[in-house]
Chain A
Amino acid sequence: MLDPFQLPFMQRAALELVLLAPLAGVLGAQIVLRGLAFYAHGVGTAAFPGLVVASATGAPAPAAALGTGLLFAGLTDRLRGPRLGADAATALALVAALAIGIVLASDVFAVGAEVDQMLFGSLLAIGSDELAATVVALAVVGCLTVVFRRDWTLTAFDPAHAGSLGIRRAGDWTLLVAIAVAVVAALDAAGALLVSAVLVLPAATVRPFAGSVLRLELGAGALALVQGIAGLWIAYELNLPPGAAIALVGGAAFAASLVLSELSRSRGRGVPEGA
């Protein structure tokens, strides 16, 4: 069963998943606690035109993806207001990014064949450059986490209290930037459209069973690693695209978590008080 992991490209893919797991733990927890899943998905999609431009011009892909990702973050922040909710602003910017990316890929740069990899990941083709980029992302997010994690959690629990301590704005911006960096790091594994499978699904799966933020982070990180390796193995054995396989395993785990938490809740309700 472990045979496939003797292969160098499988080892590099597994290493990439090991590096992504802490990001999925810490940021996944904040994403589900703050309701930022759609934002994370949007940043991933916004990275797509950046990847197209990078591929055509030879610019470094992570820098280009982060650039368009952050542009997206700034744009949605500008768009949302009293007349346009944050969700609608994200959806507008997301659709625009995807459309621009497709036009650039097909008509401007004729990137063609690589579009698949950009949208759905290329975990089996990861090289040392991609691994190095993920290590840099891990370092950046690690630093931001060490400094701001308490602020993030405080704001997630009680924005008014965070505001009264004067930490709200800094906490918000650093979190959005950290998520953008993590999304870009996860692009190689899952692609622009499936990045939530790596960063959001594990935390959403663990959430109903986590008694504290720390346990949510540890559980989400561990699950991200397990579902990633399982998805990778299934992809190898069945000759599936690994990004999609990981997303399917993550989706199955989430469905199981949903059923389990519903069951335990209804059992809790069925017990008469004092029994």
Chain B
Amino acid sequence: MDAALKVRGLAAGYAPGVPAIEGVDLDVAGGHSVAVLGPNGGGKTTLFRALLGQTPWRRGEVVVRGSLAYVPQTERSRLDFPIDALGVVLMGRYRYAPWYRRLGRDDRRAAREALDRVGLGDHARTRYGELSGGQRQRVLIARALAQEAGVLLMDEPMSGVDRPSAELVLALLEELRDEGRIVLVSTHDIDQARRFDSVLCINRDQVGCGRPDEVLTAAAVARTYGAELVRLADGEQAVVVQHHSH
């Protein structure tokens, strides 16, 4: 897999003149994982939507090699939808089958393999809504794999997922990265961000981008989180996280 993602001076947003994000620079080669760290409303989702071409760009340049796949938050998916796990993964194959062609044996095999890959081969026929939060997240990752994506954009994949499942998801992301994919994960958890190859701190403007130990300084974290940052009595910093729906 030969994925690459280059972003230069990207500004994007719906309202003309007031971009929701500005000055984003990112240069990632295949086989790298990036945590996009920032407060709620700081522009993480806007960045992903801009990369997917869903939010208008105002300035800048984006070059993508390999196809992009978006993995949404499982918390927001439809639990009452009449579909099983395999059905969700098969949706990743729709783009390969034009409307006049039914999904074929190859598509089913690719979907099965993707489901095996995330360790849910035994749950192919389980109703999506009956899976746990972590299992649903893995099903959505399997859908991106069935889509043969080179670049995975994952929106808070560890939120709404218990800790053992979050570890499973993180391990899976490391595997996918090692196979040459680019894995971009938005998060507001600084500890999780440390486990990625690079961190992109964003709070409307880009605060910093680079290796976690270089970027995640006290000053950068303070600039990233602004008013959401609380200074504790012993000098440690803590981030107040407010869950919200978009």
B is a partner of A: yes
Report the minimum CB–CB distance from A207 to chain B (whole Å): 7
Contacts of B82 in A (CB 8 A): 33, 207, 210-213, 215-216
Question: Is the pair B95, A157 in contact by a Cβ cutoff of 8 Å?
Answer: no
Q: Counting CB contacts under 8 A, is B78 at the interface? A: yes
Question: Is the pair A212, B84 in contact by a Cβ cutoff of 8 Å?
Answer: yes
Partner pick for B78 among A146, A147, A158, A211, CB 8 A cutoff: A158
Interface centre among B54, B84, B91, B95 (most CB of A within 10 A): B91
A-B contact count (CB 8 A): 56
Q: Counting CB contacts under 8 A, is A166 at the interface? A: yes
Partner pick for A157 among B53, B68, B81, CB 8 A cutoff: B81
Partner pick for B72 among A153, A156, A160, A215, CB 8 A cutoff: A160
A207 to B80, CA, bound (A): 10
Known A-B contacts A207-B82, A212-B83, A213-B83; the reply to A158 vs B53 at CB < 8 A is no
Report the minimum CB–CB distance from A147 to chain B (whole Å): 5
Report the minimum CB–CB distance from B44 to chain A (whole Å): 14
Question: Is the pair B69, A164 in contact by a Cβ cutoff of 8 Å?
Answer: yes
Interface centre among B82, B83, B99, B127 (most CB of A within 10 A): B82
Chain A residues 99-154 with CB under 8 Å of chain B are: 146-148, 150-151, 153-154
Residues of B within 8 A of A (CB-CB), count: 24
Q: Counting CB contacts under 8 A, is A163 at the interface? A: yes
What sequence of 0s and 1s flags, for each residue 105-127 of chain B, a beta carbon within 8 Å of any chain A beta carbon? 00000000000000000000001
Contacts of B54 in A (CB 8 A): 163-164
What sequence of 0s and 1s flags, for each residue 75-100 of chain B, a beta carbon within 8 Å of any chain A beta carbon? 01110011110011001001101010
Q: Counting CB contacts under 8 A, is B57 at the interface? A: no
Q: Counting CB contacts under 8 A, is B241 at the interface? A: no
A56 to B4, CA, bound (A): 65
Q: Counting CB contacts under 8 A, is B196 at the interface? A: no
Partner pick for A150 among B68, B81, B99, CB 8 A cutoff: B99
Residues of A within 8 A of B (CB-CB), count: 24
Question: Is the pair A211, B127 in contact by a Cβ cutoff of 8 Å?
Answer: yes
Report the minimum CB–CB distance from A171 to chain B (whole Å): 11
Contacts of A275 in B (CB 8 A): none
Known A-B contacts A150-B99, A163-B52, A164-B68; the reply to A157 vs B84 at CB < 8 A is no
Known A-B contacts A147-B99, A150-B94, A165-B95; the reply to A158 vs B87 at CB < 8 A is no
Interface centre among B54, B78, B94, B95 (most CB of A within 10 A): B94
A164 to B151, CA, bound (A): 12
Nearest chain B residue, comparing its CB with the CB of A164: B70
Q: Counting CB contacts under 8 A, is A80 at the interface? A: no
Chain A residues 199-214 with CB under 8 Å of chain B are: 207, 210-213
Chain A residues 160-177 with CB under 8 Å of chain B are: 160-161, 163-166
Report the minimum CB–CB distance from A135 to chain B (whole Å): 23
A148 to B98, CA, bound (A): 10
A215 to B82, CA, bound (A): 9
A153 to B127, CA, bound (A): 16
Chain B residues 136-176 with CB under 8 Å of chain A are: 143, 155
A275 to B83, CA, bound (A): 26
Nearest chain A residue, comparing its CB with the CB of B81: A157
Contacts of B88 in A (CB 8 A): 157
A216 to B94, CA, bound (A): 20
9 nearest CB pairs, A to B: A164-B70, A160-B72, A164-B52, A147-B99, A210-B82, A163-B54, A150-B94, A157-B81, A212-B82
Apart from A154-B91, A164-B69, A210-B82, 19 more pairs, CB < 8 Å: A33-B81, A146-B99, A150-B94, A150-B99, A157-B77, A157-B83, A157-B91, A161-B70, A161-B72, A161-B143, A163-B52, A163-B54, A164-B52, A164-B68, A211-B84, A212-B84, A212-B87, A213-B83, A215-B82
Residues of B within 8 A of A (CB): 52-54, 68-70, 72, 76-78, 81-84, 87-88, 91, 94-95, 97, 99, 127, 143, 155
27 contacts between A and B (CB under 8 A): A33-B81, A33-B82, A147-B99, A148-B99, A150-B97, A150-B99, A156-B78, A156-B81, A157-B88, A157-B91, A158-B77, A158-B78, A160-B155, A161-B70, A161-B91, A163-B54, A164-B52, A164-B54, A164-B68, A164-B70, A165-B94, A207-B82, A211-B82, A212-B83, A213-B82, A213-B83, A216-B82
Residues of A within 8 A of B (CB): 33, 146-148, 150-151, 153-154, 156-158, 160-161, 163-166, 207, 210-213, 215-216
